[in-house]
Structure 1
Amino acid sequence: MPDELDLLRHANPAPAHGPHFGDGPLDHRAERRLKLLLGERPSRSARFRVPRGRLRWGLAATGVVVALTLAALLGGPDTRPAAAAPRPLVVQADSTPVPLALLADRAAAADDSAGLRKGTHAQSWSMGMSDQAPPITLPQETIVRWKPDGSHTELVVATDPRHPGRPVLSDGGEHPRLVADGHVISRQTYPPSWSDAPPEAPPPHDAERLRGYLREAERVHGRMTTGQLLDGVDSLLGHWTLGAPETKALARLLASAPGLRPVGRVTDRLGRTGQAYVHDDPSGARRMLIMDASTGAVLGLETTATKADPRFRLKAGDVMSYVAWMR
């Protein structure tokens, strides 16, 4: 399914013979509105306020692309502002689901020499919600590196690998705004930390011990639910890049999680192919875990809403968060 921003970019001029339907080029009314937007100064939004001088400079420097991007994000005075959100990942219809137990067996037999490393490299999309404005999705890349003395650095940049080179929506400053692709949101160095408590402590290589590790990391008393286990996976991979032994233990632990069902093959937002496993949480969220079919490594975790929330203009099917982990 084409991206709405791509549709906007190709809608002016729209081909006279082009089809006019919801998932294709804009209809005649939308084309007239687009021409009006390009001919006049776009109205300011109460949420994204763009200084007039900056807007004129942006139009002169980058032309129609920035104008269309702002129009897509902000909308006109009587249109609903669009959310810059990714669509949920789609399972390939002709794929065969791989049971988690079989994937865990593959992980145990995999010849993988990757070692455990403290620190992460991840791409994430997180939804910011407010009862005063439509939800927006903020894409960013985070790299955390630890040094031998126990200190670590964290670099966060605004970037969306789905659209390299395009302006990116960022929440830096007082209001969300468009920034250049690769804009540094933060660069920080933290003093040494030698905590021996999960998730700072190295994870174990045994599935049952890893269950206890994640239960302690998530401060769960009693039996751990599948939703809490997935929260623990998110926390673990937010601190560590797993080696082969830890990956095998995690795959075996996930294979025993009730309600985490295989649904088939997907291509994640970084273009990697993996097997998807879905869990529906009673709270109104669906979690999709994407794992490498041969090594059992966790590639990504997507959370989508299964219930609408009118307070925040959240619709069922909206992607609330997504994170893709890299080595």
Structure 2
Amino acid sequence: MPDELDLLRHANPVPSDGPYFGDGPLDHRAERQLDRLLHRPRPTRRTPRARLLWGLAATGVVLATALTVLLGGPNTQPALAAPRPLTVRAHSTPVPLAQLAELADAAAAGGSPRLRKGTHVQSWSLGMTEGKPPVTLPEERVVRWRADDSHTELVVATDPRRPGRPVLTDAGGDPRLVADGHVLSRTTYPPSWSDAPPEAPPPHTPAALRAYLAETVRTDSLTTPQLLDALAVVLDHWMLGARESAAVVRVLADAEGLRPLGQVTDRLGRPGQAYVYGGEGGGGRRMLILDPRTGAVLGLETTFTQAEPEYGVEAGDVMEYSAWMR
């Protein structure tokens, strides 16, 4: 029987050089990851932001691969086909972030919708192990908080691109197909009274929100990649209100390197404006999708910019994707 301390030393869901909760208490997602690491084989390699897990993941997508060898039978292929990277609508007009910020401010004047604790997110994540084909693990996660500060988390296997079709998930480290809507976990967590980001309510003024986001990823100098990471963390805890969304767009407008691309339709069929960061070198390309009327964050997509043949990955393949809903 392995020594439990040795297992814990090798099962760090929050590495010291990572952006999330580096020296603070684990949140419920990190606790789930710790449990996975304790009881399942560790991946042989990790890539930034693509959490290389065979289990539950917060966000993303994966390239289409020939997984019939792994899972058997041609009937599995429709459930395994991965979405292509989002494409900008031809001849659409890019909207600068400063212009979208004005629209978001106007939309926030009525004060609705309001900030709400909890999240509703659909994600696709890339699971990679050297020597095996990568797999797509789609899931939907709903977190609801109660008046006593306890909360529940429901995670189901579902892919809105193929309603009613079987969905790939993991089972002790081995991918398998389950029915659409299969409950992966249903958990109730005790009250939490943390007053630090992202548990604390996000502010609705740009300066205060920028400081809040910097504290979320524990940095004094918020770079654009860190800003996008921090937004993802906050959106996994909060459904932003109109005022908070407007403040987000103001902060994004001051970020370096975010370029407007034009109109896209996200993976839930919603119209959005796309803004991209990166795309050169091996750091990955991040695409942020914002509501064209309110500036609310709809989704975040990361794609590979370099091929990694040992993992079956080609340049342009999608690494991960999250779509947030109210």
User: Same fold by TM-score, threshold 0.5 exceeded?
Assistant: yes
Instruction: Provide Cα deviations, 1:94-146, integer angstroms capped at 9, x if missing partner.
Output: 20000000001100011451111100011110110110201111111110001
Give the structure 2 partner of residue 100 of structure 1: 97
Measure the CA separation in 2 of the matches of 1:276 and 1:112.
25
Give the structure 1 partner of residue 277 of structure 2: 279
Q: Of the two structures, which has the highest relative contact order with CA contacts closer than 8 Å and spacing of 6 or more? A: 2
Decide whether aligned partners of structure 1 residues 112 and 267 sit closer, same or farther in structure 2, where only a CA change above 3 A counts. farther
Q: Secondary structure at the match of 1:160?
A: coil
Measure the CA separation in 2 of the matches of 1:315 and 1:279.
19
Following superposition of structure 1 onto structure 2, how do residues 222-301 of structure 1 map, counting pairs within 5 Å?
222-280=220-278, 283-301=282-300
Instruction: Provide Cα deviations, 1:272-295, integer angstroms capped at 9, x if missing partner.
Output: 001000001654211110001111
Instruction: Provide Cα deviations, 1:251-286, integer angstroms capped at 9, x if missing partner.
Output: 100111111010000000100001000001654211
- Does residue 69 (structure 1) correspond to residue 75 (structure 2)? The answer is yes
Q: Which amino acid aligns with 2:159?
A: D
Contact 2:94 2:260 (8 Å CA) reproduced: yes
Measure the CA separation in 1 of the matches of 2:88 and 2:68.
39
Give the structure 2 partner of residue 131 of structure 1: 130
Following superposition of structure 1 onto structure 2, how do residues 50-199 of structure 1 map, counting pairs within 5 Å?
67-70=73-76, 84-110=81-107, 111-199=110-198
Q: Which amino acid aligns with 1:189?
A: T
Decide whether aligned partners of structure 1 residues 183 and 205 sit closer, same or farther in structure 2, where only a CA change above 3 A counts. same
Decide whether aligned partners of structure 1 residues 71 and 256 sit closer, same or farther in structure 2, where only a CA change above 3 A counts. closer
Give the structure 2 partner of residue 25 of structure 1: none
Contact 2:116 2:241 (8 Å CA) reproduced: yes
Q: Which amino acid aligns with 1:90?
A: T
Following superposition of structure 1 onto structure 2, how do residues 8-19 of structure 1 map, counting pairs within 5 Å?
none
Measure the CA separation in 1 of the matches of 2:161 and 2:77.
20
**Aligned-residue offset at 1:211:** 1.0
Instruction: Provide Cα deviations, 1:64-106, integer angstroms capped at 9, x if missing partner.
Output: xxx5333568xxxxxxxxx632100010012000000000110
Give the structure 1 partner of residue 27 of structure 2: none
Higher radius of gyration, 1 or 2: 1
Percentage of pairs with the same residue:
63
Give the structure 1 partner of residue 23 of structure 2: none
Contact 1:298 1:325 (8 Å CA) reproduced: yes
Following superposition of structure 1 onto structure 2, how do residues 14-29 of structure 1 map, counting pairs within 5 Å?
none
- Does residue 322 (structure 1) correspond to residue 312 (structure 2)? The answer is no
Aligned residues, how many?
257
Measure the CA separation in 1 of the matches of 2:239 and 2:206.
17
Q: Structure 1: which 5+ runs fail to align?
A: 1-42, 51-66, 74-82
**Aligned-residue offset at 1:314:** 1.3
Measure the CA separation in 1 of the matches of 2:122 and 2:75.
22
Q: Which amino acid aligns with 1:158?
A: A
Which is further off, 98-107 or 84-93? 84-93
For normalisation by structure 2, the TM-score amounts to 0.75
For normalisation by structure 1, the TM-score amounts to 0.75
Q: Secondary structure at the match of 1:70?
A: helix
Measure the CA separation in 2 of the matches of 1:118 and 1:291.
20
Measure the CA separation in 2 of the matches of 1:172 and 1:215.
36
Q: Secondary structure at the match of 1:156?
A: strand
Q: Secondary structure at the match of 1:193?
A: coil
Give the structure 1 partner of residue 12 of structure 2: none
Contact 1:84 1:136 (8 Å CA) reproduced: no
Decide whether aligned partners of structure 1 residues 71 and 159 sit closer, same or farther in structure 2, where only a CA change above 3 A counts. closer
Give the structure 2 partner of residue 205 of structure 1: 204
Decide whether aligned partners of structure 1 residues 140 and 150 sit closer, same or farther in structure 2, where only a CA change above 3 A counts. same
Q: Structure 2: which 5+ runs fail to align?
A: 1-66
Q: Secondary structure at the match of 2:134?
A: strand
Decide whether aligned partners of structure 1 residues 149 and 94 sit closer, same or farther in structure 2, where only a CA change above 3 A counts. same
Measure the CA separation in 2 of the matches of 1:189 and 1:288.
33
**Aligned-residue offset at 1:311:** 2.7
Decide whether aligned partners of structure 1 residues 44 and 271 sit closer, same or farther in structure 2, where only a CA change above 3 A counts. closer
Measure the CA separation in 2 of the matches of 1:212 and 1:283.
29
Contact 1:96 1:264 (8 Å CA) reproduced: yes
